[in-house]
Amino acid sequence: MDSYEAVLNCFQNADKPLRAGDVAEATGLDKKEVDKIMKKLKQEEKIVSPKRCYWEIKK
């Protein structure tokens, strides 16, 4: 599993919105790497923000 899939799976399995730091901690990836992947997920419209700095999978 690559980093992109790890971050996407983290969001899919989360029961609440997550911050980038939460995802980095859960996946064991560097926060900068998570930020890059989250930027890509935002552009692909796979994650949305219900409130500032928190993200969740688009339903």
Report domain extents, the chain: 3-57
pTM to 2 decimal places: 0.90
pLDDT at residue 59 in the model: 82
Pairing of strands 47-51, 54-57: antiparallel
Closest by CA to 47, choosing from 26, 17, 27, is 17
15-41 tens-digit pLDDT: 999 999 999 999 999 999 999 999 999
Given a cut of 90, is residue 54 above it in pLDDT?
A: yes
Work out the percent of the chain whose per-residue pLDDT is above 70. Answer: 98
Fold exhibited by the domain 3-57 = Arc Repressor Mutant, subunit A (1.10.10)
Residue 48 and residue 42: Cα distance in Å, rounded? 7
For residue 48, what pLDDT band results from cuts at 50, 70 and 90?
very high
In the predicted structure, residue 1 carries a pLDDT above the cut 80: no
